[in-house]
Chains A and B, each alone.
Chain A
Amino acid sequence: MANHHPTDDLLIRHSAGQLPNALGIIVACHIEQCTQCQQKIAVYDQLGGELLVQNDELSPANLSVKADLLEDTLAKLDQPLPDEKTIQPVSDSAIPGPLRRFIPCKLSQIKWRGFAKGIKEISLGFSNGHYSAKLYKISPNKLLPVHTHKGNEFTFVMQGSFSDNAGCYRAGDFIQTDPSIIHQPKASDYQACICFAVTDAPLKFTGLFTRLLNPFLR
């Protein structure tokens, strides 16, 4: 059972289908494992449904559609639906469902890239200009440098756990950090910690040691 959840703002924007790609995926990873948030999403979806059918005063009650749309639609009803899923995901229950299509192998077979001792990463294909999406693997007991963030960082714990001054985060937890937070995460000692992280700006490290490390962290 997760102890750390996305904010209501993120959940409602997810339900609305309005989160940017990478952010939507990381929120979906948490929801998959969290009945509490599933319940909230069900209510927010319901809200969406009501907004859809309600005549709000900002709108013409009903927009008209072009005259032949009905006929055209009826003509298409009996055509078979095109198969939606064209990429078959690798089935590995250690990988959250929403991520599976984007990780072409089992979790244990990922070819991690290392840029610092004890921290390895891979980039996920759906990073885009504004958001970067990565998996991190942090060795047991590894203490990360003290750092703050230029923007928002969203982390979903896939395996193992880590802690910082504010708490301990286990598999299934969703953590959001922003520029007001300076922390020093530490992986727990029993198992490597694998996290899915989405950032909307590069990490900003503080301190001498980390100034050397910084360029590699983009």
Chain B
Amino acid sequence: MNQDPIESSPTLESLIQAIAQHRDKQAFVQLFNLMAGKLKFYAIRCGANEQDAEEIVQEALISVWHKASQFNPKTAAATTWLFRIVRNKRIDFVRKSRPDQIQSFDLFPDHGGEELEIDAESDLTAQFTRTLIEYLPDEQRQIVYQVYFEGKSHSEIASEMDLPLGTIKSRLRLALNKLDSLAKEHMSWLIIILLTTY
């Protein structure tokens, strides 16, 4: 199998920056080709139908075009930034033209540039998160997927997988604990993993 396209050049990050700095439509086309399918898969996995999914993809990518200059690699990896955009578009899609309803900006307010710098090298952290997900045992990873993409509660996952609720809870907790240690012991973990796997 080929390498993950994100890994080969140009990177998602460099495409976003090219859009921000030069309003580069060619970079946008590359970004579209790189991400549209993945974004669509995300929307569909979250429950959208074919047509709605493509609309969400389009809106998210148009948003990337307009907001590219707000992308700050110091506060978030490019993938994180894109995830926030498509998540918010998905949330708002069903409430279009209903400003009286809760919108994504109520749930995830912009902190106006005061965003937490979780790490000076967020790209390294992203790599670390990726490694971490890969290292999660299948069963834990599946549960994480179901939470993120299908919005399943513990009990729904339990009945679908035909497993006791307690098992689901403890598997997710195991996965989360690993991620927690990422937050707490950021740098040292990062170094250990990078040294041992790269």
Contact = CB atoms under 8 A, between A and B. Distances in A.
Interface of A: 8-9, 12-14, 16-18, 21, 24-25, 28, 32, 35, 38-40, 42-56, 58-66, 69-70, 72-74, 76-77, 81, 84-87, 97-98, 101, 125-126
A86 to B, nearest CB: 4
Contacts of A56: 141, 145
Contact of B36 (A28, A69, A98): A69
Nearest to A61: B37
State which size class the interface on B falls in: 35 or more
A73 B32 contact: yes
Given A63-B40, A87-B100, A49 B133 contact: no
B118 interface: yes
B25 A74 contact: yes
B28 interface: yes
Interface string B125-159: 11001100100000001101101110101100000
A116 B150 CA distance: 42
Interface in B95-120: 99-109, 116, 118
B187 interface: no
B154 A52 contact: no
A40 B183 contact: yes
Contacts of A60: 41
Contacts of A87: 99-100
B87 to A, nearest CB: 4
B187 to A, nearest CB: 13
B55 to A, nearest CB: 10
Contacts of A70: 29, 32-33, 36
6 contacts: A14-B107, A39-B118, A40-B180, A46-B77, A51-B83, A54-B130
A131 to B, nearest CB: 11
A20 B146 CA distance: 16
Given A43-B183, A52-B82, 19 more contacts: A13-B151, A16-B147, A16-B149, A39-B116, A42-B76, A46-B80, A49-B81, A51-B83, A51-B144, A52-B79, A53-B35, A54-B4, A59-B41, A62-B38, A63-B44, A65-B40, A65-B54, A73-B32, A86-B99
B58 interface: yes
Contacts of A58: 142, 145
B151 A64 contact: no
B74 interface: no
Contacts of A81: 62-63, 66
B86 interface: yes
Contacts of A50: 79, 126, 129-130, 133
Q: Which of A16, A46, A63, A74 has the most chain B CB atoms closer than 10 A to its own CB?
A: A46
Given A48-B87, A49-B80, A98-B109, A77 B176 contact: no
Contacts of A47: 129, 133, 144, 148, 179
A101 B99 CA distance: 10
B39 interface: yes
Contact of B125 (A13, A46, A52): A46
Given A9-B154, A17-B104, A87-B100, A43 B179 contact: yes
Contacts of B87: 16-17, 48
Contacts of B25: 74, 77
B107 to A, nearest CB: 5
B126 A46 contact: yes
Nearest to B80: A49
